Amino acid sequence: MKITVYGAEQKCASCIHLPSAIETKEWLEAAVSRKFPDYPLEFIYCDIEQPQTEEEKDFSARILEEEYFYPLVVLEGEVIAEGDPRLPVIYKHIEQKHQIS
């Protein structure tokens, strides 16, 4: 399962008191890996200023056009959180998408 966290080195103006996007990715990786220790997980951080794949370019452009806020959390191509992600919401999406508990 691939979880991508999109962000930038500079925090967005409304996120000044929140962790950076890279810190959010690290925090999510630790928490989700603890919750689902037997499930294969791949966590990716994408700097919206340097996207690599077509999917990353698409989501990065949409963030830069202010359609989404960052950090943006994407589970296998589906947006599951943006701005200040909440673990219960992310857990629910993972469980529903992969029918695990």
| Nearest CA-CA partner of 75 in 10, 18, 28 | 28
pLDDT, tens digit (0-9, with 9 covering 90-100), for 65-90: 999 989 999 999 999 999 889 999 99
Residue 20 resides in a domain:
yes
Residue 61 resides in a domain:
yes
Residue 95 resides in a domain:
no
- CATH code assigned at 34: 3.40.30.30
pLDDT at position 11 over 70 = no
Residue 94 resides in a domain:
no
Residue 61 CB coordination number (10 Å): 12
pLDDT, tens digit (0-9, with 9 covering 90-100), for 20-62: 888 999 999 999 999 999 888 899 999 999 999 999 999 999 9
Residue 101 resides in a domain:
no
Residue 93 resides in a domain:
no
Provide mean pLDDT across the span 6-16. Answer: 70
* Total domains present in the chain: 1
**pTM: predicted TM-score of the whole model, two decimal places:** 0.89
Q: Which domain holds residue 18?
A: 2-84
Residue 89 resides in a domain:
no
